[in-house]
A and B are shown apart, each in its own frame.
Chain A
């Protein structure tokens, strides 16, 4: 079974530039999550999708972050414009449904904003 795929693995951008991350969840998983993991901290949920609808985006900085889930499968997370404090690993995860007690994580995208 293929796991959660994310790209790119690494990205370095200058502040005020824009960047986009892509995620392909496990086939059949209805729920998709984006987490931000800042160095030395645990993952923090940014947004949760159920199919192509948003379940929770309460911690997404909506002035600069946006996310969509095309046709309830792949998802993209965008930052525009980026700030230094956005440097982090962005993790995508998926689960069968919102009530699942196991999420499967991708390897993450390490973003460095300089």
Chain B
């Protein structure tokens, strides 16, 4: 069985500051890892994913996440956030041999002016 732990339920940060949203997972088998974002009044959207290869993956809007197998982590980072990044972010894990995706509880990122 897999599980996902998002270590922070809320992260307030000032605009243009860096941010890190932490995610740890547990699994006895190989996994794919995902970050989804949910903007206010919208559905979840895939932000980025790690399937294989380079452990550093990037999104089109400046976020990046690094897969760390030894630490079983997949933290999400952005060097400089914007007001528009205010949203809830969900880390998720999927067994490479199966189809069920397990989500973390979410981290609410609040960017202040």
Contacts and interface: CB of A to CB of B under 8 A. Distances in A.
Interface in B37-52: 41-46, 49, 51
Given A42-B90, A48-B100, A4 B105 contact: no
Interface residues of B, number: 24
Nearest to A3: B43
Contact of A42 (B4, B42, B43, B45): B4
B105 A40 contact: yes
Nearest to A4: B43
Contacts of A102: 46, 49
B103 A108 contact: no
Most chain B beta carbons < 10 A, residue from A44, A98, A101? A101
B30 interface: no
A40 B9 CA distance: 8
Given A4-B43, A42-B4, A43-B90, A101 B103 contact: no
